[in-house]
Chains A and B, each alone.
Chain A
């Protein structure tokens, strides 16, 4: 079977060690985690993990069942790319003097739609939200300008199907 990107949404109780229990399922099935993000969900006290994997459908289906089997997991879903709306955030730290280069800031703002988060004497911090290819394009653009630091979050995603989590509880 062919591999694709799948976004897993895992809804859990908020308990110490639960992330361990979930990631152990990936280790056991020999599936690499491309990215992971954790936050609260729309329901008070329920946490949501967004995990991206690159795998075949069969393996993902088995993985999701094993995750959902865990006592403190309420529900786990897997979705293909087109079934979700997703976004990542990336931060870029550059020497402040870069700003003075001709056309540099205009390119960033007009073509990359970045936000300027902070400017200090020595450095400035840019933020870009978008999909992987967008944050990557900006990274490629900034590399020659003496990029000091780069960090990108895991994907966060909401699903297009309209069933609510509450309907599963």
Chain B
């Protein structure tokens, strides 16, 4: 019996998915197989050009995809099965949503005739993921699949990026249909990039040109818009000092003279104080998170606020603006810069430097150059800076080590800092670092992790072992859940409720996965230990024993104003 040409062109939903991924330029998938996604994995077996990284838990797969997306600027792709496979993705999806990371998550689902029957491994992942996805969709009809995948990639990566979840029933994976793929580049209900208003640009420019004490703060919007050069040009033309949120870190060279440092709860002294001293506050691609603003009632009230953002829902959400400039930061910064007068602000900037000197003498010097006592987290990061020259990608987990790393790590290149900012997901670092390395294989990737967060996704050492990605794991071990302990010390009368950790031998665990490692406790051996880690050809785990009860300062306590930033516990 002869097969007609028409039938020859038909392919299964599972194979159609592979062809969609190839059409979107996907090279790497992070995932974990299971019953309801088996037809997709079976199709993947025939597509060696689509590389697959097998994680050890679906949460590991999605954090790896996030790290990949953020180091490469591409859309991360994740596969997971139905039921627990899908629910295990939720933390990563929520993390990607709040940190605006482009992901396309494909979940297998039970056959459409079993939907709603409490079938084995059936879960309503569409409803569960709805509040944490930019968009989601359940495919039960194979003929819809190419169009839905095209929409998924378009929505995930355009405008303010975010995670998209596509749930595909098992029968739709098996069913045959004609395959035709058309990339999606518009939807009538979706306006990813608002039109830039020249009037808003002009009004913003007038205010900035008349400012005596302008201050620019920026976030991840710069990285997402690839607007690093436009930011630098605007700053250099106008001489305006700037500061960053932790997701905006590495968008501007750490040593740039107009880079005044980090905003927020554990940020630098000068940028926090000056937020309440400036006359014009220009916020670009950031969302005034509570960890950045402190008490909103006492945040930049003296200043005219100009907010540049791609997302209209961010305007006036937390801070009332004088002028909102909607649009992609690359375009808005360029057009704004064209209207701004060249300027210098020597006196104004010298006030930042005065405050910086105070922070240096009260906090930084003893953090960075201690001469006695246990090793500090800060001196480890200082040595890493010296040894990498600021060229490494630094991934962190969540907690004290994260804040210290953000404060002290130096960066020369963009897309060099990857951290879970909005959600604060412990366990993010190790898998994200694996993904980051796979997304930027030519770069050194250092995973700075606390002893607590490391154990939340420690199983991903298996993924590291199998992929042979060279990740330098730097555990800053204080044998405590350090940030919670710090709060217990400062705000809960030193009642250390369940924050002290009895840890395993991390080096032996790594060794079980074929990963070299060592531990260092003494200051005089730290430099050699870091050299050993960085020069080792391949992955390496270095555990640094740091002070058990060190605190991160400066600190804006919860509910305080940014100008009440404290330099120490007194």
Contacts and interface: CB of A to CB of B under 8 A. Distances in A.
B126 A17 contact: yes
B190 interface: yes
Nearest to B188: A169
Interface stretch (B130-138, B175-183, B405-413): B130-138
A71 B135 contact: yes
Interface in A67-98: 68-69, 71-74
Contacts, number: 40
B546 interface: no
Contacts of B189: 12-13, 71-74
B187 A24 contact: no
Contacts of A12: 189
A28 interface: yes
Nearest to A65: B313
B559 interface: no
Given A65-B313, A69-B313, A71-B134, A20 B188 contact: no
A71 B317 contact: no
A66 B190 contact: no
Interface in B500-537: none
B568 interface: no
A69 B126 contact: no
B131 A28 contact: yes
Interface string A7-34: 0000011001100110010001000000
A24 B134 CA distance: 13
A21 B134 contact: no
A61 B324 CA distance: 15
B145 interface: no
A66 B311 CA distance: 10
A69 B312 contact: yes
A17 B127 contact: yes
Identify the interface centre among B127, B188, B189: most chain A CB within 10 Å of its CB. B189
Nearest to A12: B189
B155 interface: yes
Contacts of A61: 316
Nearest to B318: A62
A13 B135 CA distance: 13
Interface in A42-81: 61-62, 65-66, 68-69, 71-74
A21 B311 contact: no
Contacts of A13: 189
A74 B188 contact: yes
Interface residues of B, number: 19
Contacts of B313: 62, 65-66, 68-69
Contacts of B315: 65
A62 B315 CA distance: 9
B interface: dominant SS:
mixed
B130 A62 contact: no
Contacts of B135: 71-72
| Range of interface residues on A (Cβ < 8 Å) | 10 to 19
B311 A69 contact: yes
Nearest to B151: A71
B130 A17 contact: yes
Interface in B114-161: 126-127, 130-131, 134-136, 138, 155
B131 A24 contact: yes
Contact of A24 (B126, B130, B312): B130
Interface string A151-169: 0000000000000000001
Nearest to A62: B317
Nearest to A61: B316
Nearest to B160: A69
B132 to A, nearest CB: 10
B284 to A, nearest CB: 19
B241 to A, nearest CB: 31
Contacts of B317: 62, 65
A26 B192 CA distance: 23
B185 to A, nearest CB: 14
A21 B130 contact: yes
Interface string B288-330: 0000000000000000000000011101110000000000000
Contact of B130 (A20, A66, A169): A20
B155 A71 contact: yes
Q: Which of B130, B134, B135, B155 has the most CB of A within 10 A?
A: B130
A71 B190 contact: yes
B150 to A, nearest CB: 14
A61 B311 CA distance: 15
Contacts of A28: 131
Contacts of A66: 313
Interface centre among B135, B190, B312 (most CB of A within 10 A): B190
Given A66-B313, A71-B155, A20 B127 contact: yes
Interface in B467-518: none
Interface in B343-384: none
A13 B187 CA distance: 10
Contacts of B312: 65, 68-69
A62 B318 CA distance: 10
A107 to B, nearest CB: 48
Contacts of B138: 16
A65 B309 CA distance: 14
Nearest to A45: B188
Contacts of A20: 127, 130
Contact of A71 (B126, B187, B311, B316): B187
B412 to A, nearest CB: 35
Most buried by B among A17, A71, A72: A71
A71 B127 CA distance: 16
A169 B136 CA distance: 23
A98 B135 CA distance: 54
B384 to A, nearest CB: 39
Contacts of A24: 130-131
Given A13-B189, A169-B188, 9 more contacts: A16-B138, A17-B127, A20-B130, A62-B316, A65-B315, A68-B313, A69-B313, A71-B189, A74-B189
Interface of A: 12-13, 16-17, 20-21, 24, 28, 61-62, 65-66, 68-69, 71-74, 169
10 contacts: A17-B130, A20-B127, A21-B130, A65-B312, A69-B311, A71-B187, A72-B190, A73-B189, A74-B188, A74-B189
What 10 A-B pairs are tightest by C-beta distance, nearest first?
Answer: A65-B313, A74-B189, A71-B135, A69-B313, A71-B190, A24-B131, A72-B189, A13-B189, A21-B130, A66-B313
